[in-house]
Amino acid sequence: AWAATIQCPEKEGRKCEGTSGPDTMYGTGEDYVYGDWIDGHEGSDKIYGFGGDDKDNGGHGTGGLFGGRGDDLVRGGDGQDEISGGKGSDRLYGGRGGDSITGEGTFVNHTPRDLIVGGPGDDRLAARDGQKDRIYCGTGFDSVDADDASKSWPDDSGDRDLVDDSCEEVHRY
């Protein structure tokens, strides 16, 4: 398999797709980017990691970052991002701006699977996947939808989401 560095064309709505090898991909406009190491840079990018252990960076601007299957590291940039880790044990970071972050992790041996960190801004964080996740809010007014009625972090008893005390609004389902 070949590795490639791909610069997406500066045309809105253009889809950039990597090779079967380890790719480094950059989106410069309103791009739809596919691959394993993805950096959105400027603009409102749609970034899809799909299968594998992806490293997705949102860059500046409003965008969507979707990790897909695998153990992903997804970082939103400046702006309002929609972030979803997909199946796997993911690390999801919001960045500056009001972000919407959703963990959909897997559960193995009673170990927390997703790490969700809101960052600066008014964030909406969700970990309603039936798995044990760790959730940290940042500055701003943050709202959390979490599994079960458990105590706040650092209590790690049971199979419930662990929620940091800095979250302003926590809903348990």
Mean pLDDT of the chain: 76
* pLDDT at residue 151, as a whole number: 44
DSSP conformational letter for 108? B
Q: Beta strand 55-57 with 37-39: parallel, antiparallel or unpaired? A: parallel
Radius of gyration of the chain (CA): 16
From its phi and psi, is residue 13 left (phi > 0), alpha (psi between -120 and 50) or beta? left
- Return the bridge partners of 20, or none: none
Q: For residue 33, count CB atoms less than 10 angstroms from its CB and return exposed for 0-12, middle for 13-18, buried for 19 or more.
A: buried
Residues 22-30, mean pLDDT to the nearest whole number: 63
Q: Give the pLDDT confidence of 106-151 residue by residue, as tens digits.
A: 555 545 578 999 999 999 999 877 777 889 999 999 999 988 754 4
Per-residue pLDDT band at 98 (split at 50, 70, 90): very high
Q: Distance between CA 14 and CA 128 in Å, rounded? A: 33
* pLDDT at residue 36, as a whole number: 62
Look up tokens 């209590």; give the residue. 155
Q: Where are the domains of the chain?
A: 49-173
Residues 4-22, mean pLDDT to the nearest whole number: 64
